[in-house]
Chains A and B, each alone.
Chain A
Amino acid sequence: MNSNTRTAWLFVAPATIIMVVACLYPVISAVRLGFFEWSMGTPWSEARWSGWTSFQIAFTEPSVWRSLWTTLKFAAVSVSAEMVLGIALALALEANIRGMAFFRSLFILPMMVAPIAVGLTWRYLYDAQFGLINAVLGVFGVAAQAWLAEESLAFAAIIIADIWQWTPFVFIMVVAGLSNVDASVIEAARIDGARWWTTTMRIKLPMIADVLAITLVMRLIDAFRVLEVIYVLTFGGPGESTEVLSLHIYKTAFIGQKLGAASAISVLLLAVVMALTWLALRLSNPLKDSEGDR
């Protein structure tokens, strides 16, 4: 190792060590806990070794796979919608005209609200009797809906709340990406006769592909971890129709008092998220260009 490399490692080492400890230690603890049966409120000395039992349950219990499937559906629909809407909004507000900065600030407000507050607010909005959504629908002659009382509507309700809160995140990431696009390239395309759609789809978006990839990965990870909004809105109901995996883990740990089983299911969730992240990064390969430059 030459001295430059050694120096580089020296500078990177403290942050790396902290990241390894902060990230790896909880993961190792969670995996370890999966091998024990331990109930909240009892000392660790009362935890019982259970071997692979909790992992077996995690991989075979129908409710685990049901909640994983619910999570996959939730993530697929909400993240897709957020990406499309966020990109569209960013493109629409790209123009550097007077007042645009104000609108951009306004659009990112939802993501600053605490998830619990989002859940409570939307619970009132969705109220079948007094909610604003039914009031607005009524103006257009649409019958009031029991948003949180029917399975399909409740699922749509949690997706809408998530799209409302996290589209702004996609928006600001894309705005930041677009601000780094070389204007001369766009100008050259226009001179060559390219229209807005061609410029956008063939030049702008490909140029910010790495930003889009990272945004997609971050939103996917967050979508798989969603808990607070669904906890407040539906608590996983009606029935189990909106019980996502993180809520199932919460119930297993704090209601079922099975911390070991909850940890084992968390490991499953971690594996799924890591797999998706790897896939998304592999397909987009944000480091492709920089590797090619070496």
Chain B
Amino acid sequence: MKRRELIKAGGIAGILAAAQFPLIRGAWAQDRYAKYRGQTVVMNVPAHPHYDAMAKILPEFTAQTGIKVELDKIAMGRMKDKQLLEMSKPQGDYDAVCYIVMWKGEYVKKNLVVELEPYFKNAALADPNYDIKDIVTGYLENLGLVGGKKGYLPGPGAKLYGLPYGAETSVLAYRKDIFDKHGFKPPQNYDDLQKILAPLKAKEGIGALTSRGQAGHQCVHAWLLHLNPLGGEVFDDHWNASFNKKPGIDALKLLKEISDTGPAGIPGYGQGEMINAFLQGQAAMYLDSILIMGQVNDPAKSKIAGKVGYALHPKGVRYASQSGGLGLAIPKNAKNKDAAFLLLQWLTSKSADLKVTKVGGNATRMSTLGDPDILKQYPDFAILKEQLKYVEPDWRPIIAEWDEINIQALGIAVSEALTGKKSPEEALNGMVPKVTDIMKRGGYLKA
């Protein structure tokens, strides 16, 4: 055979092989799940709008893969107790758990969850089309990485232990109709925000800005939303308390003003009450999780459909929107780890991310946020794409001791300032010894 004919034959063979490749890859995909067909993955999830949306697309996963999914849905506040109990048994009931970002350090420190990179490197399980770089970088780093700088940021030593699912940042939502009526503009910075609080309440007769405020995690979350853009931090680089410095006090003073000009009852508000006040038309603005975007136009929940505009979380000394939310991990004592990984991988894949976003869940991928159909359904996602540039990865210290500091220390101080029992200075300064003691016990400071 002449050389030319040989090359031609080789080229044709190559083309034919490439044409078969999708079929081969499809076959491989089927093979990926084949071994686990018939297994059931038990997943602990919260009562949360994103996971309600996830439940709608799970039947498709089962139809495609033959792997069944059983959800154990409980209130978010009870998840950690239950998960710790299950994950500390020799073999637990859960194959996958949804965790709040604040728990990731503790779960890894206690050796309760598996590292995910070995699974992504396992050719028998990994989806070659997964494209992990498409996941919003801020979400992946915030929810998934443990072991890097400060123990929870990217950097040397960081390893992947979870995938973001229900991750969120913060955004400003406002009533376009009310703003137009009174000639207000959506505030672009904190000075503008502060200037319109009292006039909005006086002119419209409803709360200016709704907020969380209940003692514990809720009020601290609300305070952190303002602390970060105002240039504050909870700890300095040596883990000394920094929350009682000027930015922390300013943030708490602002939160008190928001409470005084907001809908009645903010010091008792959880996330649900905060959202409800806005959706029921009792507040002109909302500044918190992007969760609001999926609910504003839901006629079952909202009286303000079609009246809401969105803007960036206002700038203080910098733009610094919330990083946080929920992620998925695999317990070390799970019975069906491989099947659980396949589920996590599928849920966070490009196609499933599109599906869950269409039914009201949070988008996890940049490709979803740029999808034409999604943008038609949620035109406001354009602002979300912009907001994601300003996600602050070090929004709060994600250390094992954070729960105690969050709920039993700062959660009391912020609440006492909101009710007026103490001044912001008194409240925050008074909590320094307790927080310092906790950090000493945790080994971050010298005893």
Q: Which residues of A contact B (CB under 8 A)?
A: 39-43, 126-130, 144, 146-151, 154, 234-240, 251, 254-257
Contact = CB atoms under 8 A, between A and B. Distances in A.
B47 to A, nearest CB: 12
27 contacts: A40-B84, A41-B84, A41-B87, A41-B107, A41-B112, A42-B110, A127-B273, A130-B280, A144-B264, A146-B264, A147-B265, A147-B268, A148-B268, A149-B264, A149-B268, A234-B214, A235-B215, A237-B214, A237-B415, A238-B215, A238-B415, A238-B416, A251-B408, A254-B81, A255-B403, A256-B408, A257-B400
B421 A239 contact: yes
Contacts of B412: 237, 239-240
Nearest to A251: B408
Contact of A239 (B264, B277, B419): B419
Interface of B: 80-81, 84-85, 87-88, 106-107, 110, 112, 213-216, 219, 263-269, 273, 276-277, 280, 282, 400, 403-404, 407-408, 411-412, 415-416, 418-419, 421
Given A41-B112, A151-B421, A237-B415, A128 B268 contact: yes
Contacts of A236: 215-216
Contacts of A128: 263-265, 268
Contacts of B267: 146, 148-150, 237-238
Contacts of B219: 237
B444 to A, nearest CB: 15
B29 to A, nearest CB: 36
A235 B404 contact: no
B83 to A, nearest CB: 8
Contacts of A41: 84, 87-88, 106-107, 110, 112
B404 A255 contact: yes
Which 7 pairs, one residue from A and one from B, show the smallest C-beta to C-beta distance?
Answer: A237-B215, A128-B265, A148-B268, A149-B267, A41-B84, A128-B264, A149-B268
Contacts of A126: 268
Nearest to A238: B419
Nearest to B403: A255
Nearest to B207: A129
A129 B88 contact: no
The listed residue with most B CB atoms (<10 A of its CB), out of A41, A146, A154, A238, is A41
Contacts of B408: 251, 255-256
Contacts of B421: 151, 238-239
A48 to B, nearest CB: 12
A16 B411 CA distance: 46
B215 A240 contact: yes
A129 B407 contact: no
Nearest to B88: A41
B399 to A, nearest CB: 12
A260 B126 CA distance: 43
A159 to B, nearest CB: 16
Contact of B418 (A127, A147, A238): A238
